[in-house]
Structure 1
Amino acid sequence: MTTGQSRQPRVGLFVTCLVDLMRPSVGFAAVRLLEAAGCTVEVPATQTCCGQPAYNGGNEASAKELALQTIAAFKGFDYIVAPSGSCAAMLKRHYPKLMEGDEEAFARANAFAERVHELLAFLVDVRGLDAVPGTFSGRVVYHDGCSGLRELGVSRQPRALLSLLEGVEVVDTEHQQSCCGFGGLFSVKYPDISNAIATKKTTDFAAARPQLVLSGELGCLMHLAGTLSRQGSPLACRHVAEVLADEMSAPPIAHGMP
């Protein structure tokens, strides 16, 4: 990998609530991949939720308070990287919108947003990572999370990284870029619709006959894993960073999480 830099960039890892509380192995995998890309990685202890649940629920005052706290927690880093398209999109796309009408805060949010990247896009587009620590070999399907795909354009990058693993075959499915039905609060408000959408996705997975379902979005993976489990499917789900980083000690999400 050619970085063209005389020093290692200082990266602040935005861990995300789900990774912190439900799947720490994704955080460890992200650190390993960032270090493989020549970065110095730190995890600010003062970070909390990005504010997305409050924002999606219409509580902009609470979301703005959390946004300002996050911006302060990541002061001084060259980059802010998140292993989640939805959280990265909140930080990058929606923080500036939250601060409209407050000139000073709006300027801070824009400066912050310029340094924010989704993990997989950062590794490919910014760092040009051309080798990964992982050793997995097998047939996989990759689910594109809606926020990463539609708000940040993340789709090519995870597949480019998976192609670095000798023996991995990424199989496309019929509804490749369709929503999984999770959508955060959507799955709580409209469970029947959410489950119907997830079932369409898992039917696609069954037809593809993969060994693993991968994604860069832990919320999607939890939703899909729950659906597969209720269907009695042995198919397991993992965050793609775990596979790329050879961070496979945690059980698959289908067997290790609700």
Structure 2
Amino acid sequence: MKVSLFVTCLADNLYPEVVESVARILTDYGCEVDFPEAQSCCGQPAFNSGYQDEAREVSRQLIRAFEHSDYVVSPSGSCAGMVHHFYPYLFRDEPEWAAKAEALVGKMYEFSQFLVGVLGVTDVGASFPHKVTYHPSCHGMRLLGVKDEPMQLLSAVADIEYQDLPSRDDCCGFGGTFAIKMADMSEAMVCEKAANVCKSGAEVLVGTDMGCMMNIGGRLNKEGKPVRVMHLAQLLEEGRAKR
């Protein structure tokens, strides 16, 4: 099975180790993984700011980059959600590009979604003897529909002590450009989220979206809270190495 990695801007620039974990896990399950170097931003920042023409140009480049891929897997539900929900809208008046956008939608998956839904893997054979809580990202959960897959993978990890996150479905306040345009409101939201992470008693916070990880992790670090923040792929890979 040939899988192309869509690394996203935040992963490429700030969290390359997350993509490495994704690649190693997929390779271990028999996937032939590649990285199309022509890939670009998904266009979400421009689109969310109202610059639809600019978002379309960036989107065309991403479509071109993965045009010949069998499957496309991303560590970010937010970026995958942008492709699934807004690419058809962006190209609604351009039949040729609309067809290409729909083709990409049909093969674009978030990491846990692909692992569980396509590869049929719910237990990677990991052990992680720590107190862990999980934050579901808004775009991954609400736009892409990634709800059960991360918990299926976490629940199969041996020795894990899962801690419920109070108000887990609440937004962390990042929201891309929202955090810039509505900085005061964004800060209030991430403060509340960080407080709930601490209330959970978890030693480790797991997420599936680098924007949320960066935002919540930054707040926890600013407050001096000793909570480790990890992507789901990192926890699974680290847990497999311990067994």
Q: TM-score, normalised by structure 1?
A: 0.89
Paired position in structure 2 for 1:33: 25
Q: Could you tell me how far apart the structure 1 residues matched to 2:25 and 2:158 are?
A: 17
Q: 2:148 pairs with 148, 156, 163, which one?
A: 156
Does the 8 Å contact 1:173/1:204 carry over to 2? yes
Q: 1:43 pairs with 25, 35, 38, which one?
A: 35
State the Cα deviation string for residues 195-222 of structure 1 (Å, max 9, x = none). 1111111111111111101100111011
Q: 1:178 pairs with 170, 176, 191, which one?
A: 170
Q: Map 1:121-160 to 2 at 5 A.
A: 121-132=113-124, 134-160=126-152
* Structure 1: runs of 5 or more not aligned: 1-8, 250-258
Q: TM-score, normalised by structure 2?
A: 0.95
Q: 2:232 pairs with 210, 231, 240, which one?
A: 240
For 1:175, give the aligned amino acid. S
Q: Share of identical aligned residues, percent?
A: 39
For 1:202, give the aligned amino acid. A
State the Cα deviation string for residues 39-86 of structure 1 (Å, max 9, x = none). 111110111111111111111111111111111111221111110010
Does the 8 Å contact 1:242/1:248 carry over to 2? no
Paired position in structure 2 for 1:79: 71
Q: 2:82 pairs with 69, 77, 90, which one?
A: 90
* Structure 2: runs of 5 or more not aligned: none
Q: CA RMSD in A?
A: 1.6
Paired position in structure 1 for 2:14: 22
How many residues were matched structurally? 241
SS state at 2:3 partner: strand
Q: 1:168 pairs with 160, 163, 181, which one?
A: 160
Paired position in structure 2 for 1:103: 95
Q: Could you tell me how far apart the structure 1 residues matched to 2:198 and 2:172 are?
A: 15
Paired position in structure 2 for 1:6: none
SS state at 2:206 partner: strand
What is the deviation of 1:135? 3.5
Q: Could you tell me how far apart the structure 2 residues matched to 1:33 and 1:96 are?
A: 31
For 1:143, give the aligned amino acid. H
Q: 1:188 pairs with 180, 195, 202, which one?
A: 180
What is the deviation of 1:169? 2.2
Q: Could you tell me how far apart the structure 2 residues matched to 1:65 and 1:214 are?
A: 33
Does the 8 Å contact 1:44/1:74 carry over to 2? yes
For 2:134, give the aligned amino acid. Y
State the Cα deviation string for residues 75-102 of structure 1 (Å, max 9, x = none). 2211111100100011122111110111
For 2:189, give the aligned amino acid. I
